[in-house]
Amino acid sequence: MTHQLQMLCLTSLSEVTDFLTNMQNSPGFKLALIQKNKLIQFDPPLNKFQNVFLNLYGMMIEAVCLPGLDTRLFSDLEMQDLTSKLKPIILEKIVDDYRLSVKMFLKEQWIGPQLRVQDFDEYICLLNGESQEEIKKFLSEDHSFEEYKVQVAKFHNLIYEIPINMAHVVRVGVFEMHRKDLIKAMTESSCAIKSQLTSKLISDYQLVCKQLGEEYQDINDKLLSPPANTAELMALKAFVVEVESVILHNMELKLQGVMSYIILLSDYVLMNSSEMKQNSCTFQWYLRLPQIFQENCLLVETKTVEFQDLLMNRIKVFRQDLKFYAEQVEEFETYGDINELASYLKKARSLDKLLADGLETIKLFNVEESAFGWQESHYPVRKQIADKLAPYKKLYDNCSEYLSKFDIWTQSKIGTYNPVDIDSDVNLFYENISDLEKVFTHFQEPHRLANTVRLHLDNFKEHMPLIMTLGNPGLKDRHWEMISEIVGFPLKPDADLTLAKLIDYGIEEYIARFEVVSDSATKENNLEKKLNQMMEEWKEMQFTLASYRDTGTYILSAVDEIQVLLDDHIVKTQTMKNSPFVKPFEPIIVAWETKLTLLQEVLDEWLKVQITWIYLEPIFSSPDIQQQMPEEGRRFSAVDKVSSLPIY
């Protein structure tokens, strides 16, 4: 049976190969030309044809690998080999030869379709974007109407020329080329370009026509739209004067230009319904203007009376609002629960905003009163309410801000916030709240609230010495080791060591010893900063070399600034070196002093040699001197060679 399957497979492989490579027997394969990424491409591509055809051979070989007869006869028995299959032997060389034959056939046949792509060379500019770029540039420039007319005719003719000259389906060898989609893409491209050109011609005059229509519409809307307030009413009156004296004359000139453009375009482009509608709308607006002015006059008279009545009613309502605000301020006298502080602050800020808005409302009242020729009204009660609210709001603001910062300070890692800033804030809060406590002496609840927060501040201020010492940002690990020795248990400045935790430790008894460590840390930190600052100043410092006359030798110049800086830093370094707080970084300072001293010595010697050389060089450069003093000349030359080397 395996032999029969082998013969069947070999016969099938041969017949399939013959079918694929024999043009007389093959019905052909459909191949489409498409546009992709601005290029003409085949669909499907050659590699897809090859993959599909060549995979047939593997599928045919797999198809003849049938299960053995024993898998049917002994399916009920438990045997290890019951899953075996019949595997006819098909030599790889035979299959490879068939595949190579098909592959070579496809490559040979593929040449024909590739050559037929050249049919579209004349129109390729429609696909690769050249025509689009050309028209884009054309549209961005100024051109006459006649130039536009030539371009429109060119692309209009292409729309009909391409489908006539190019066959939609062409048989090339074994392939049947379908070019309908490509032809359609080209005609659509031509049509799109033509549409761009005609749209530009139409849009030129339609834009002006539309703008005129919008201007007429805008004039109509403004003249007949009821003003919402007195300011709009006064603006409307001023606008009417401007329209009658200036705007209408300019619009009539533009309308004459639109009429001339319509007459010119009507000989070439058919006017669509949208254009007709726009043109009709614009000219009709012009005819309606006299009636619009009459309606506006009646509207202004009616609204003047209406807004005067409305203003008087608004003033009445505002006076009632002020009475309500005064009642709200009185309620703050009963607020003293610290747990409700957030609610008090919210109410105070809300009322403060209403009073601020009220000030703007008064200004608006005065503007309208002036517009109608009335005497301006005044509302001193608003300021009285605002003045009465101010201490309450200040109390709630300070209490809320302090309690919020207190939580942040105590729950953060020690040293996160500068203790000087904390002390400054605490003193400011204490001063403000103490003053407010005095202000509210005769108001029980606000006084109770201020007193509660002030006592909280008193308690917190007791811990300020601890904060000022252990919160010192200059404390390093070595200092914390000393602090740990003082308190008798390890303290590490990690995220868990918060201010609240330090306070809970109850280590205030060691404050005096902490201050010694903290002061030392501060002074050490200051010394370290000064040392780093000195080192930083030298990073950008450069020595300047200048060519000396025509000698070819370079000398140091402009060294005054360097010498001044060097002397200053040596003095500072020696002062720091003698400080009792230099020990942690004494090796660094000693090395830095050595470096500066060496630099000073080198620079001094360098300048001495340079000054001497400058004095002697012109003397021993003279041939007469060298003849008179040959021994001294040789010595100068020898020294000159050596001393000049590092200067180059």
How large is the average pLDDT for residues 23-39? 74
pLDDT score for 67: 63
Q: Is 86 in contact with 2 (CB distance < 8 Å)?
A: yes
How large is the average pLDDT for residues 230-258? 90
| HSE toward the beta carbon, residue 629, CA cutoff 13 A | 11
Cα dihedral: 310, 316, 318, 320 (round 10): -150
Assign residue 229 a region: left if phi > 0, alpha if psi is -120 to 50, beta otherwise?
beta
Weakest mean pLDDT among 22-26, 59-63, 493-497, 545-549: 22-26
pTM across the whole model: 0.52
pLDDT band, very low/low/confident/very high, at 82 (cuts 50, 70, 90): very low
pLDDT score for 637: 76
Q: Is 392 in contact with 329 (CB distance < 8 Å)?
A: yes
Which run of H or E residues covers position 416? Answer: none
pLDDT digit string (tens) for 585-616? 788 888 888 898 998 888 888 888 888 888 87
Cα separation, 408 vs 403, in Å, equals 9
Weakest mean pLDDT among 87-101, 239-253, 543-557: 87-101
Q: Which residue in 65, 54, 62, 51 sits closest to 95, CA to CA? A: 54
Share of the chain above pLDDT 70, in %: 90
pLDDT digit string (tens) for 286-297? 889 999 999 999
Strongest mean pLDDT among 174-188, 203-217, 513-527, 623-637: 203-217
Which run of H or E residues covers position 93? Answer: helix 92-116
Which DSSP state fits 533?
H
Radius of gyration of the chain (CA): 50
Edge-to-edge strands, sheet with 169-172: 39-43, 29-36, 175-178, 169-172
How do strand 29-36 and strand 175-178 relate by DSSP bridges? parallel
Q: Is 576 in contact with 589 (CB distance < 8 Å)?
A: yes
How large is the average pLDDT for residues 325-349? 93
Respond yes or no on whether the N-terminal peptide bond of residue 44 is cis (omega within 30° of 0). Answer: yes
> Is residue 75 pLDDT above 80, yes or no?
no
pLDDT score for 648: 44
288's CB contacts (< 8 A; 6+ apart) are 220
Cα separation, 510 vs 466, in Å, equals 9
Which DSSP state fits 141?
S
pLDDT digit string (tens) for 241-252? 999 999 999 999
How large is the average pLDDT for residues 51-71? 68
Q: Which residue has the higher pLDDT, 402 or 514?
A: 402
Q: What is the average pLDDT value for the chain, to the nearest integer? A: 84
Q: Which residue in 58, 62, 57, 56 sits closest to 86, CA to CA? A: 62
